Amino acid sequence: MNRFAVIILFFMILFSAATWAYSSVPTYPEVTSGKKITFPRDYGSHDAYRTEWWYFTGWLETASGDPLSFQITFFRTRPEIETGNPSKFAPEQIIFAHAALSDPKTGKLLHDQRIGRVGFGIIDASQEDAEVKLLDWQLKRTAEGVFASKVAGKDFQLDLKMKPSQVPMLNGDRGYSRKGPKPSQASYYYSVPQLQVTGSVVSGGKAIAVTGRAWLDREWSSDVLPENAVGWDWTGLNFDDGSALMAFQVRGANGEAVYAGGSFRSADGKKTILSPDDVQLKPKRIWTSPKTGAEYPVEAEFVVRIGGKLKRYPLKPMFDAQELTGPFTPTYWEGAVSTPGGRGYLEMTGYADKIAL
Amino acid sequence: MASLRQNDKSGPIWRWLFIGQLRTFPFRYIFAVLSIAIGIALGFSVHLINASASDAFGDAVRNLSGSSDAQVAGATSLGFDEQLYTRIYQLPEAADVSPVIEMSAVLGETEARIKLIGIDPFRAGAITPVLIGRQVISDEQSAGRTGGQPSFNINAVYLSDAALDLSKTKVGSFVKIRANGAIHDFQVAGDLPGIEAGQPVAVIDIAAAQWRFNRLGVLDRLDIKRAENSTQSSLARALGKMLPSDARLSGAENEIEKRTSLSRAYRVNLEMLALVALVTGGFLVYSAQSLSAQTRQQQFALLRILGLQKSSLQRQLLLEGLALGLVGSVLGILLGYGFAYLVLAIIGSDLGGGYFSGSTGPIDVTASAIFVFSGFGIVTAILGSFSPGRRAAGLNPAQAIKTSADNLDGAKQPVWLPGTLLILLAGVLVILPAIDGLPIFGYLAVAAILAGAIWLTPWLARTLLAPLTRVSNRDVAFDLALNHLLRSPTQAAAALGGIVASVGLMIAMVIMVSSFRTSVDNWLESILSADLYVSGGLVEASFNADQQEEISKLSGIAVAEFSETINVSLDPTRPPVNLIIRPVQSSQYPLSLIATVDEERAGIPIWISEPAARIYDLEIDQNIRLPIGAGGTPVYVAGIWSDYARQQGAIVMESDDYTQLTGNLERSELAISLQNPQNIDAETERLKAQISNIAGTEPEISNAAGIRNIALGLFDRSFAITYGLEAVAILIGMVGVGATFAAQVGTRIKEFGMLRHIGFGRREIIMMLAYEGILLGLVGLAAGVMSGLAISQILVHVINPQSFNLTMKTSVPYMLLLGISAALLITSGLTAIFAGRRAAAADALRAVNEDW
């Protein structure tokens, strides 16, 4: 869900808002409850909506048992440009991708990105199934239903096949996931936890075979976060027993949650939808980024009410320095975390910006 | 160094010898130094101006093409199909490709001419980061997170500092951009900090560029970054194999070469002028040194008798030359820098020639340039001193100490062989072709003629003056003058060297410029056969087929012919040629053809301009391919026409052929003949309104006379600097001649004293000197005019065709030449009289006794 603001901030930086009235601008469909999510159609792109992403995060293991973690994200956005431009270069759709590889041995986060406007067969996102092409980066759901992605960054490469072991988990009300008090502040959102990963990683010039477990977030929407939100915290955790937890909170300027939510699915497939009252995040240890000065609660505890019982999920980062900065992105922390009996990713945004303010 | 030290030992004597001369005859040396300085100054400033211009241009090109490893550019200004972007992107040798739209545009209320570039910032970011604008306006809707709607601002323009200055716009304001027949408002969102100073550039989004300025489906350029595992040459090979006929492999180096090849010939011509001043200076040094050696003949003889070696004596004169050269060079370098600074600040780096636009960088002075140019000056001065030094050292001291200077060489027959050989050598040199587009041999021939003429001057003086001795009824003053000149032809030649050099070169330049101007004028007359010329006006709008028909039917129009001009690249290393699309066979306005095929034949005919024929080595009836239409088009050369306007070459194609090949019926230019040409002003106004009604935008209408005036005005402006330099060279030459003559007269005080003794009045002496002056002037004029005529023919028939690719007919401006001749004769006579009055005024008795 949470990547809304990533996209928004990103576009704020890149594209200045027009200060005059256009003759016509695109209209974005509103996210409403009751729309049925279908597959494979909804693996593919939804071009009419403002923003969308395919967000893979996961833990990997080399043959010698060393842990690594990765993130591959393809964002799509439909900018608010004047419609009717017959140019094939008209930036009707922009695709942005971000990939990162964390290695606890080096304590380093390698990351890189690609961006471009859809067109000319060079950059494209299929509206039928998961198939995104962005220059030399790609994502494709194969005939066997495996998500295959190949990305090559400046100092690393990822070539991963991610095979679903469970059906998609529809978040919110059958995929209608609210982000704020207004019904329109919502997205279509499902996750595919417990993806089984095989493939190879090139790091330090060497190709290493890896296996692992990953998480896919698929989300698309048109409206943005509540006006008083400054950032959010999100986690997606794969548990060793096959269960999965997704939880988030949207933070206001005072650091308090403006909205919250999540989903828990047990190993037997029983799903619990978490309402704003069911999710709480408690910072445990603050890490200050030497690069940006931002203070992130890199150790935190999600307290979640499942089936009337409070459950505590203390999160520990793989290592502290998993902050991301880049020309097309705002500064945020996105890193591998572990919790007793499970592993996943934690995303924290709006901390660097707050400091800037 | 050894010689310098040796010189130091005997310093006082040498200083005394030289300083004494300087005190006695300051003007002689001042003019020698000045003319060396002027020569150096001209050469150095032309060099500086050009260096900064081409540096600025080179930097700009490299700057704009960023770190791309290869570039593909459209073969014509129509661009190429945008699908090539995909195909090149898919090459394994290409890592990234940035598509670019590029056109000239008019910006804002001030109508500033700028380069408009459309890019996809995402692709350009990694390849040409300088084209990425820096957003300066605040994002008013920065409330992205609070419900604001971020947009992709395709109506934003980023302007370079030069473009901001020229258009007088501010960041944040709205500005009109006109290009390719369209006009659109953009908001200045920021600047382009990466663009070099002086480059007027505007960058917009590529989608906006295609949409707003009628370039849908085409691109002008692809900037390509090669894959890491491929090489520059494998990328070029892969591109070469797949490029369609409407696209060309290009590169920053090519662009720079293109530009320099255009301006180089112009620059060489100017540097030649500088050389002229320098050579004149060399001759003035020669004159000054010859005379000073003659005056000091007895001093030198005395020193020799006292035991001084011949070589030391010669070294003395060479060192004097060195001193003159040093002073002249230092002065020249300073003057040259100042001149370059002024020219760059006032006129711009193209010296009014119109070859570069708006790209003036800082003046880049290199130590090597200073070294080379001052070296020139010093060498010239030393060379000028060499022969007088040798002569002085070669004299028999016993004889020289007794005799006065003047009539020592009277008995010797002047030699004519070396001079004649030099002139013959010039005859051979002019046949040789240009080297690398530069008429090097032509300039060598000019130098050979000049040197030959000067060498021949003593012989010429004797040959021309000897017959006069047979004329009866002369008065005594004339007799004496004639005799004096005949007895000392070497001395005469010393004075004449400067005259011959400056007059020769002046006459050559005058004839060349006049021939050029007359040819341009005649040509303008022949091509401007319509009454009115209409263009799309400021928006560069074009007329579609319906509008064309409607305009043709307007009342008052006898003939209306539509045309269109696009750029076509025949060779990626050269500037594109203009492809002019117009009726030819059916036209009322014939081309100024200088050659045609005998018979029409099958195929598409084109008519090429003379520069195009020379640049691309094309002949009548030759088959070539033009990069227009799908896959290129085979055409043949049906004729060659003369053209002085488009140095890069031009091609004319039948309107119907072009329409058939491209399907394009749009034309943006129109030539009109009126039914009532006598009411031209009223008719122009009426037609302007009517055409404006039909086309929707106000056209620009000029009449033939106006265009001709503008063209000739441009011509005169670009030659204004040439005229200026000529005048300076002549002035220095004349003044130098005067100084030489005055100095010569100064050495003859004794002779005048003697003449006064035997009953000559002052008047007679002055008359004698006037005769001498006029006779000398005549000889100098004869030699100067002859060498000038010869040099002008080299300029007209060898140097200009080789460097500018155009021919002209010789046109001698007789009145101007007569004027110059009269001025020269009067000057030399007046100088002689002026010098004589002083000489004759001296006390006769003291003069005779002036012996030591």
CB contact under 8 A, B210 and A18: no
Q: Could you tell me the pLDDT band of residue B681, with boundaries at 50, 70 and 90? A: confident
User: Which chain A residues have a beta carbon less than 8 Å from that of B182?
Assistant: none
Q: How far is A83 from chain B (nearest CA, A)?
A: 11
- In chain B, % of residues over pLDDT 70: 75
DSSP state of B763: H
Q: How far is A176 from chain B (nearest CA, A)?
A: 20
Q: How far is A307 from chain B (nearest CA, A)?
A: 34
Cα–Cα distances (Å) from B774 to B237, B715, B779, B827, in that order, read 71, 37, 9, 9
Question: Per-residue pLDDT for B96 more than 50?
Answer: yes
Task: Find the chain A residues whose C-beta atoms sit closer than 8 A to any C-beta of B.
Answer: 5, 8-9, 11-12, 14-20, 25, 79-82, 85-91, 94, 115-117, 120-122, 135, 224-225, 227-230, 327
What are the structure tokens assigned to B106, written together? 């008019």
Contact B432, B441 (CB under 8 A): yes
- In chain B, % of residues over pLDDT 90: 8
- In B303-452 the beta strands, taken as DSSP E runs, fall at none
Q: Which of residues 75-134 of B touch A (CB under 8 A)?
A: 82-83, 85-86, 89, 96, 99, 120-123, 125
What are the structure tokens assigned to B746, written together? 């100064």
In whole angstroms, give the CA distance from residue B618 to residue B610.
9
Instruction: Return the pLDDT at B407.
Output: 46
User: Which chain A residues have a beta carbon less than 8 Å from that of B146?
Assistant: 227-228
CB contact under 8 A, B151 and A86: no
Interface size, chain A vs chain B, as Cβ–Cβ contacts under 8 Å: 117
For residue range B442-470, list pLDDT tens digits in order: 888 888 888 888 888 888 888 888 888 77
Q: How far is B219 from chain A (nearest CA, A)?
A: 11
- Amino acid identity of residue B98, one-letter, is S
Q: Could you tell me the pLDDT band of residue B303, with boundaries at 50, 70 and 90? A: confident
For residue range B274-289, list pLDDT tens digits in order: 666 667 667 767 766 7
Among B96, B637, B699, CA closest to A114: B96
For residue range B346-363, list pLDDT tens digits in order: 665 544 444 444 444 556
Report the DSSP pairing between strands B182-191 and B156-159. parallel
Which of A19, A86, A230 is opposite residue B211, by nearest beta carbon?
A86
**CATH dotted code for A4-356:** 2.40.370.10
Write down the mean pLDDT value for chain B: 77
Contact B535, B175 (CB under 8 A): no
Q: What is the secondary structure of B803-847 as a DSSP string?
A: HHS--------HHHHHHHHHHHHHHHHHHHHHHHHHHHHS-HHHH
Instruction: Return the pLDDT at B467.
Output: 83
For residue range B721-746, list pLDDT tens digits in order: 666 666 666 666 666 666 667 666 76
> Poorest-confidence range of A37-46, A184-193, B299-308, B323-332?
B299-308
User: Which chain A residues have a beta carbon less than 8 Å from that of B145?
Assistant: 5, 8-9, 224-225, 227, 229-230
pTM: 0.63
Q: What is the CA radius of gyration of chain B?
A: 34
Instruction: Return the pLDDT at B149.
Output: 31
B149 and A CB contact within 8 Å: yes
CB contact under 8 A, A8 and B145: yes
For residue range B105-143, list pLDDT tens digits in order: 888 888 888 889 999 988 888 888 888 888 777 554 332
Question: Per-residue pLDDT for B619 more than 50?
Answer: yes
Mean pLDDT confidence for B386-413? 65
Q: Which residues contact B450 (CB under 8 A, 6 or more apart)?
A: B279, B500, B501, B504, B505, B787, B791
Mean pLDDT confidence for B13-42? 70
In whole angstroms, give the CA distance from residue B291 to residue A143.
102
Count of alpha carbons within 13 angstroms of residue A77, beta-carbon side: 27
What are the structure tokens assigned to B286, written together? 């020669």
Count of alpha carbons within 13 angstroms of residue B705, beta-carbon side: 4
Instruction: Return the pLDDT at B209.
Output: 93
Question: Per-residue pLDDT for B146 more than 50?
Answer: no
Q: Which residues contact A190 (CB under 8 A, 6 or more apart)?
A: A37, A42, A168, A169, A170, A171, A175, A218, A219
What are the structure tokens assigned to A226, written together? 């509540």
CB burial string B544-560: b at 16+ within 10 A, e below: eeebbebbeeeeebebb
In whole angstroms, give the CA distance from residue B824 to residue A42.
96
Report the DSSP pairing between strands B604-609 and B633-641. parallel
Could you give phi then psi for residue B673, rounded to 5 degrees? -105, 135
CB contact under 8 A, A81 and B151: yes
Q: pLDDT tens, position by position, for chain A (357 residues)?
A: 344 444 444 443 344 333 333 446 778 898 998 899 999 999 999 999 988 999 999 999 999 999 999 999 999 988 887 778 899 999 889 999 999 999 988 888 898 888 899 999 999 999 999 999 999 999 999 999 999 999 998 889 999 999 999 999 999 999 999 888 888 888 999 999 999 999 999 988 889 999 999 999 999 988 767 777 888 899 999 999 999 999 999 888 888 888 999 999 999 999 999 999 999 999 999 999 988 888 999 999 999 999 889 999 999 999 998 988 766 667 889 999 999 999 999 999 888 754 332
In whole angstroms, give the CA distance from residue B161 to residue A264.
58
Instruction: Return the pLDDT at B150.
Output: 33
Which of A90, A224, A327 is opposite residue B145, by nearest beta carbon?
A224
Among A94, A88, A81, A96, CA closest to A28: A81
CB burial string B369-389: b at 16+ within 10 A, e below: bbeebbebbbbbbbbbbbbbb
